[in-house]
Amino acid sequence: MRFLLPRPLAACLFALALPVAAEEAASTQQQTPASSDGNGVLGFSVRSEEWTLIGNARGLSLHKPIMIFPATYSPDYSGEETEFIFQFSAKHQLLGTSLYFGYTQKSFWQLYNGEDSRPFRATNYNPELFYRWQPEWARLPELGLDFGLEHESNGRPLPTSRSWNRLYAGVFMPRGKSLYYIKGWWRIPERDRRGPDDAGGDDNPDIQDFLGYGELHYARQIGKQQQLALMLRGNPATGKGAVSLSWSRPNASGNFFYAVRLWHGYGESLIDYDRSITRLSIGVMLSR
C-alpha cells in the first residue's frame, strides 16, 4: 500500500492559492456562510449570531454543498488510495412558485493514478424535484418542510450500474447558532432482475440495508464564522449506516471556505454503497 499524501497535499495547497477562481465561482454568495435555504438563502448572521434568511432566491440558487477536495486519503478501495473529489449542486425555482428542480453531481477522480491513465472511478448523478413549504406557525416560525422525488444513479451499464428512486420528506429548522435538518425517504420499488443482462431490473435491491431510511444533518456555528457539520444515517435493523463530520472556515475575503471532512460508513459513492469506507478529505467549499 502506498501512502501518497505529500503529492495531493501539494495539490491542495496549490488549489487554495487560487482565490480568484474561487471568488468567481462563489460570487453570488454573501460573506455569511450559506447552508440550506427557504425562499431565500439561509445563512448565519455574525451580527445577530443566528441563522437567518438572506435575500430572495429567484432562478438558479445554491442547493447542497459545493466542494473541492484535492487531497483525500482512504485505504478501503482498490487503486490509488488518494483521490480528487468534487461536488457541485444547484437548484432552480420553477415558475416563481415554491417548486424546485435540483441537481447534484459528485465525482471521484483518480488524478494521482498515472499508471491507469487517471480515470474517474465513480460519479453520482442526483436530479430531484421538490416542493418547499414554510408554514407561518406562531410557535415555530422558522420551521420549513420539503417534499420531493429524487433519482440517483452512476450512469454506468451493467454489471456496474447502480440506481434508485425515492420519495422523501424533510424538516429543517434553524435555532440560534444551530441548524437541524431531518430527511426520511421511501424507496420506489423496482422489479427483480430476470437475468444478468436485464437492464430493466433492480440494480441494487439491498441498498436500504446499507443506506437506511433517513438521515440527520446538524450544523453549528462556532468561533468567527467557523462551522461544524454532522451527518448521520443508517438502518437500525442491520446496524449499517454512515457518519460524516466536517469543519470549515471562510478565507480572509469570505468568498470560499477552507474545509476538512471525515467520512466513515456506507454510501459515499453508489458504486461502493455496500462497502464501508473511511476517508479524510482536505480542500475548499464554495458553499456549505
Q: Supply the residues annotated as catalytic.
A: 151, 153
Check residue 98 and report its DSSP letter: S
Q: What is the rounded CA–CA span in Å between residue 249 and residue 90?
A: 21
Burial (0-12, 13-18, 19+ Cβ within 10 Å), 136:
exposed
| Angle of CA points 15, 243, 240, to nearest 5° | 135
Q: List the grid coordinates of 242.
A: 454512515
The residue count for the chain? 288
For 48, the 3-state DSSP assignment is: coil
Sequence-ordered list of residues with C-beta below 8 angstroms from that of 110, at least 6 positions apart, any chain:
79, 80, 83, 84, 116, 118, 119, 120, 121
Q: What is the rounded CA–CA span in Å between residue 63 and residue 104?
A: 8
| Angle of CA points 163, 211, 165, to nearest 5° | 30
